C-alpha cells in the first residue's frame, strides 16, 4: 500500500463578511462563493483549471441559491471546465472545514491531485433553522435535550457546566477579539485575503463591499455589561460575547505537495492531521476539546507542541472552555492573534476556511511558529480540529 501523500494549503480567500440583513441581503449565496473561487484562481495563474479534480462547497441551509449541489453549480458558474466535478457538504458550522478535510483525504490517498474547497452562508436569505424539521423522536425519546436545538441556550449550558467561566470573563474576551481585529485591520493583515464584492440595492444602486461589516472597534466592557441576555433571564450570553448572524463565503486551494511543486505553487501550510468528535448536543461548545485531543493523539503531538491557535468564536464561553481545559490563559497571544468571529462574524458553513486563512497569515507573521490548529464547535454536539505545519518555519521574518 502506498504511503499517504502530503497535502498542502496553497491559498485561501474570502468575501468580506456582512451582517444578516445588511450588505448582501440582495446577493445570491452562489454568487458569493463563485466570487471567492474566481479570485482564488486569479491569484494562482499557474493552476490550469482543467487540472482541478474536485470542487467541494459547504452550506448549512442547502436550499434555493445554496442548494442544487452547490459545489457542482458553483464550479460551472465560476467558469471551470465541465469536466471538473463538484459536490455539496453539510456539517453545520464546520462545513468548509469538512470540505477541506474531505478533499484532502482524497489527495492523501492519491485519488486526486488538486481541489477547491469552499463554504457559503447567506443568512439574510436563509435564516438559521429555515426549513428544519427535527424528528419527533429527538424529544419524545429524549435523544436530544430540547435546548440542543438553540445554539444560544447551549452556550448558557456551558456556563452552567463551567461556573468559573463568568460573564465578565466572556465579555473581556469579546472586547479583546474586537481590539485584535481592529489592530489587524490597521496593520493590513486581514484585507489581503478579502475579495471585494459588487452588490446591488433596489434603493441605493450599486456598491462595493471591501471590508467586513460586522466589527465594532469601539466595544467596551461597560457597553457589553448592559446588553440583554436573550437566551435566559439574568443569563451570561449576549450579542456582544457571541458571533453575530452573518453572510459570507470562503474558498481554498488544496494540493498534493508533489503537485504543488510540479506547478510551481508556493504552499503556505501542510496538513498534519485532523479529527472530528461528538459531545452531548446540549453543550456542543465543548466539542473542540475532544476533537483536538483526538487530532493531537493521532499526530503524535501534545498541546505544548502547538504554537498558534485559531479557535472559532461562536461564543466566548466556548473558547474559554477550551482554554481552561488545556491550561491556556485567556489573553495568551497565541490564541486568535487577529481576533475572531465575535468581531468579524460567523457565516456558519464558511468559517472553517476563514480560520485557515487567518492561521496562514499568523504563520507568515511568526516564522518561529511550527504547528498551529484550527478548531471549532459544531451544532448537534460536535467539534472539529485540523493541525497544520508552517512551511515557512524557521525562515527569516
Catalytic residues: 93, 346, 377
CA dist., res. 372 & res. 308, Å (int): 5
Residue 164, all three cell numbers: 468559573
CA dist., res. 310 & res. 180, Å (int): 13
Q: Are 362 and 372 in contact (CB under 8 A)?
A: yes
Residue 122, all three cell numbers: 447567506
3-state SS of the chain? CCCCCCEEEEEEEECCCEECCCCCCCCCHHHHHHHHHHHHHHHCCCCCHHHCCEEEEECCCCCHHHCCCHHHHHHHHCCCCCCCCEEEECECECHHHHHHHHHHHHHHCCCCCEEEEEEEEECCCCCCCCCCCCCCHHHHCCCCCHHHHCHHHHHHHHHHHCCCCCHHHHHHHHHHHHHHHHHHHHCCCCHHHECCEEEEECCCEEEEECCCCCCCCCCCHHHHHCCCCCCCCCCCCCCCCECCCEEEEEEEEEEEHHHHHHHCCCCCEEEEEEEEEECCHHHHHHCHHHHHHHHHHHHCCCHHHCCEEEECCCEHHHHHHHHHHCCCCCCCCCECCCCCHHHHCCCHHHHHHHHHHHHHHHHHHCCCCCEEEEEEEECCCEEEEEEEEECCCCCCC
CA dist., res. 248 & res. 176, Å (int): 23
Residue 163, all three cell numbers: 461556573
CA dist., res. 10 & res. 259, Å (int): 11
Q: Are 350 and 249 in contact (CB under 8 A)?
A: yes
Which sign, positive or negative, has the C-alpha torsion 286, 177, 12, 372? negative
Pairing of strands 86-89, 114-122: unpaired
Amino acid at each position: 500500500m502506498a504511503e499517504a501523500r502530503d497535502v498542502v494549503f496553497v491559498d485561501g480567500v474570502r468575501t468580506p463578511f456582512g451582517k444578516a440583513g445588511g450588505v448582501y441581503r440582495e446577493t445570491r449565496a452562489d454568487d458569493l462563493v463563485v466570487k471567492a473561487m474566481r479570485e482564488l484562481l486569479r491569484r494562482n495563474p499557474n493552476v490550469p483549471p482543467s487540472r482541478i479534480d474536485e470542487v467541494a462547497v459547504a452550506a448549512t441551509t442547502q436550499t434555493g441559491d445554496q442548494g442544487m449541489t452547490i459545489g457542482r453549480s458553483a464550479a460551472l458558474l465560476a467558469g471551470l471546465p465541465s469536466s471538473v466535478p463538484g459536490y455539496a457538504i453539510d456539517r453545520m458550522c464546520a462545513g468548509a472545514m469538512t470540505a477541506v478535510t474531505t478533499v484532502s483525504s482524497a489527495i492523501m490517498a492519491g485519488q486526486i491531485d488538486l481541489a477547491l474547497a469552499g463554504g457559503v452562508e447567506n443568512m439574510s436569505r436563509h435564516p438559521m433553522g429555515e426549513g428544519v424539521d427535527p424528528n419527533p423522536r429527538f424529544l419524545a425519546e429524549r435523544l436530544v435535550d430540547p435546548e440542543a436545538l438553540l445554539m444560544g441556550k447551549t452556550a448558557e449550558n456551558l456556563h452552567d457546566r463551567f461556573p468559573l467561566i463568568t460573564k465578565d470573563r466572556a465579555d473581556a474576551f469579546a472586547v479583546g477579539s474586537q481590539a485584535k481585529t481592529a489592530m489587524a485591520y490597521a496593520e493590513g493583515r486581514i484585507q489581503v485575503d478579502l475579495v471585494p464584492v459588487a452588490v446591488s440595492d433596489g434603493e441605493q444602486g450599486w456598491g462595493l463591499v471591501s471590508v467586513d461589516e460586522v466589527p465594532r472597534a469601539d466595544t467596551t466592557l461597560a457597553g457589553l455589561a448592559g446588553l440583554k441576555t436573550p437566551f435566559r433571564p439574568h443569563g451570561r450570553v449576549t450579542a456582544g460575547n457571541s458571533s453575530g448572524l452573518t453572510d459570507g463565503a470562503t474558498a481554498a486551494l488544496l494540493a498534493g505537495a508533489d503537485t504543488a511543486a510540479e506547478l510551481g505553487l508556493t504552499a503556505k501550510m501542510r496538513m498534519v492531521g485532523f479529527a472530528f468528535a461528538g459531545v452531548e448536543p446540549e453543550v456542543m461548545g465543548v466539542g473542540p476539546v475532544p476533537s483536538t485531543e483526538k487530532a493531537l493523539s493521532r499526530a503524535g503531538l501534545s498541546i505544548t507542541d502547538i504554537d498558534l491557535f485559531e479557535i472559532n468564536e461562536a461564543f466566548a464561553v466556548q473558547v474559554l472552555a477550551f482554554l481552561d481545559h488545556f491550561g491556556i490563559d485567556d489573553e495568551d497571544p497565541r490564541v486568535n492573534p487577529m481576533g475572531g468571529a465575535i468581531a468579524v462574524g460567523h457565516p456558519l458553513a464558511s468559517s472553517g476556511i476563514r480560520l485557515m486563512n487567518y492561521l496562514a497569515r499568523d504563520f507568515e507573521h511568526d516564522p518561529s511558529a511550527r504547528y498551529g490548529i484550527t478548531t471549532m464547535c459544531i451544532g448537534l454536539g460536535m467539534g472539529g480540529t485540523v493541525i497544520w505545519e508552517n512551511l515557512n518555519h524557521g525562515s527569516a521574518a
